[in-house]
Every structure is written in structure tokens, then in C-alpha cells.
Structure 1
Amino acid sequence: MDEGALQDRSVLGRIMRILDAFDVGDQAVGLSELTRRTGLAKATVHRIAQDLVAARLLAASPDGYRLGRGLFELGMRAAAERTVLEVAVPFLQDLFARTRETVHLGVLDGDEVVYISKIGGHRQARSPSRIGGRMPLYCTAIGKVLLANSDPADIARVLAGPLPRRTPRTIVGPGLLRAHLEQVAEQGVAYEYEESTLGIVCVAAPVLSADDQPLAAISVTGPATRFRPDAHAASVRAAASGVASILARRSSTPL
């Protein structure tokens, strides 16, 4: 039985199908549109949606449904990400004050980076990143630095998978990408020069655990017309190291 069939039969699978049907720009999604997006029976969508409203995971309005605040509250209880975020915020703020460019904090999730914080000013670069959003590992600075410090098996899996060319500068050759990741691991910093989005350049450094596993990564992003990533590599590396140091002290402190 394939995954789609399992989702149709599982209550949890149908709930996730409904929640996943919402896009970032949605203000409200009507019942008919939600039915179309999920492929579930209209009566099923209506019944589950009403239960999700009661649980505050969806909110209802005359225009339809939207994701509820209960989901945000649950997300903020995610212990690992919350701890990293709490420690990292002062460092992110310092980086923004120093660079006046967009600062990100991201964590590894499968073959993607998930952004858990983003600080940007009035002149921030137009990048596709958003809090809670995902981007590929292989073509973003923050993703590459997470991948370069991952287990060899994880690196091999990503290199063996599809590597779509997002811009003319995306590194899509597995051999070239492996050599690039080895250089990233050696330097302790990764750069992106318009590999994920044209007009965007970036520098990132990893937040490593005591056993050198990637807990998160910090990046600074700016427009290719004015931002020089290499000029800020030391500051980004220092911020990531500072976060790692505090997390290490917290984890070694007895309760």
C-alpha cells in the first residue's frame, strides 16, 4: 500500500493532508478549495476541519479556514529549536547591527534547511527565505554549511539525489559539490553566490555540538550589488561559535 493510500485511511494522515494544504500566502481557504487541494471527500474535510477548529489548530471565518494559533504555540514548545533560538537571538541581533543585512538562523531537517529566525531591516535583500520556510541544502550557504558538517552517509544521500539547477550558478555536479563541501568543512564557513536565487549572496557558519554535530547555522544575506560575504565571515563564524559555547555550557550544567 502506497503512502497516499495510508494517508487516506489514517485519521492522522488525513489531518496532516488538510494542514499541509495551506500555502504561505493563504488568508483563508474555503471548504471547496480545501477539498480540491486534499483530494479527500468534502464531508470528511468538513468534519476534520471542525475538529481542528475546536482544537485551535485551525481558525474559521466567513471566508473559510486558516491555520490557527494553536499550531504556533505547539511549534514554540519544540525544545531543541526553542533552546537554540533563545541563545542565538542576541548574537543574531549583534550581526544585524553590524551588517544591516538579513540575518538567518536555520536548522537541518532531512535534505533541507528550516529557517527558525530571520532579522532584516528596511533595505533587506529580497530572498525567498521566511521563518518556518524551507530551502535546499546543496545551494544555500546555510544549507551547505549544515550539510558539510553532517555524517558522511547523509552527504552521500544528498549528492546521489536530484540536484535541480535553480540558477545558472547552482553547483549540480556531485563531484564538484563534494569537493566544495570538503572545502566548507575545512574553512568552517560557506558562501553562496547567486546559487539559490539570482541577486543574492550569503555567508554562513555552523553551530556545532561538543561532538561536532550541526545543531544549527547562522547566515548573513545581502544583494550581490553591494554585499561582500567574505568581509563578514569572521563575524558570522564568531557568532556561531558563541552560540555553540553557551549551548555546550548549558548541556553540561547539572539540573
Structure 2
Amino acid sequence: MGRLNERVAIVTGGARGIGAAVARLFAEEGAAVTVADVLDTEGAKLAAELGAPARYTHLDVSTEDDWRRAVTETERELGPVSVLVNNAGILEWGTIEEQPLESFRRVIDVNLQGAWLGVRTAAPSIRRAGGGAIVSISSIAGITGYAGISGYVASKWGLRGLTKAAALELAPDGIRVCSVHPGAVRTAMTAGFDDSFTAAQPLPRFGEPDEVARMVLFIAADASFSTGVEFVLDGGVTVGPPTPLTSSR
């Protein structure tokens, strides 16, 4: 307890799933938390559950004005931001030939542009706080490819690159920037998948939002010599093929 005492955090997509788990754990560890989302009812309810000094703000991460307001209000009410968690994200299905252009753009706008705006807008506040951390929730789709979700894959690979560029730019200010790459985690996004989806993994189960939250906490609170790197928690799915090779001799 207390690993984030006197820290101020903004968690995007914080109303449910991984974002809500991060917000709860951060509050337990002493942080003042802004829960930011477009799900106003759920987000306000969570902030009320967390109690002071937590707050909710409506934030469409693809909109620069929303970002400016969210950071300004957080700094005014809670103090300079020291941890930003870029968690907000969406997934839309369709092959490259089938997916409408506006659908592809929407995914990029939320998942990638939203994180870029977050880094851009929060960095001056984190600088005023004397340094801190930015943690962006990517995916194993930012490490390998998947058919039928090209926008999501492109956005998550882009988020990985953004993390590295931001880490280089912000290191002189004492701001660390890392990405987290979950595999299948039980959230609203994976609600349509059954246990067969993870059966071939070395650890054959879904991850839980709390497990991702603990990784985010480690990066924000403890990983003081890490920046620009990927932290993977995927049940081992990216380790290699699950079937052992056998000799033909």
C-alpha cells in the first residue's frame, strides 16, 4: 500500500474493464485519480466508489479540446499529473477490402491519435510534477498480426512506435514511457469469446483486468530504469507454436 502516495493519475477508458481495474488499484495505492471516459454514468459511479480524491471527467480521447479540459481540471483539482494511463480503445471488425474507411479511421482516431494527444497534452503537467510515467495499453496485436481487424492491429503497432518516440523525447524531463501488451483478457471487448479461444496457450485461460492493472502499477511505481519498452502479459501465446516439433528421422 502507498506505492503511489502523492501521485496524480489520469486513466482513460477508466469506467470499466482494464481501466477501472487500474483506477481502483491506483486509488488503493494512494494516488489521486481522474477516471476519464465517454461512459458518463459508469465512470461517475466508479469515481464515487473510489471516494476523494478521485474524480470523473468526460473525455473523448480523439478530441484535443477534451484532452485540454481533462488535464486542466485534473491539475486544478488534484495537482499536476504524474501518471497517464492511455487505456481507451475500440475494436471494429472487417477485412481490409470490406471495412469502411470511416470505420478504419475511427479505430485509428481513438486508439492511436487518442494516445498521441494524451502524451502531447499531459507531458507539460507531468513535467511540472517533476517527472513521472506514461503507460499505454497496446495489445499482442501490436506484436503480431491478426486478420479481420487491420485497423486495430495498425493502431496497436502504431502505439508501440509512439511509445518509443515519446520515451526518447521525454526522458530528459524524467518522464518514462512504456507500453503494455495484453493477450486475451476478460473485458467487454472479449465478451463473445469462449474458453476455446485460449485453449492452445501455454497458460490456457483468459487474463483478468486486475492482472493487467498490477503490471501497470509496477511500471508506474517501480520500474524506474525502464522506458520505451514493451511489457507483455499474454498467457504465453506469443512465445511460439504450441505443438512440439518432431524429428522425421
Task: State the TM-score, normalized to the length of structure 1.
Answer: 0.27
Higher strand content, 1 or 2: 1
Higher RCO (CA < 8 A, seq sep 6+): 2
Task: State the TM-score, normalized to the length of structure 2.
Answer: 0.27
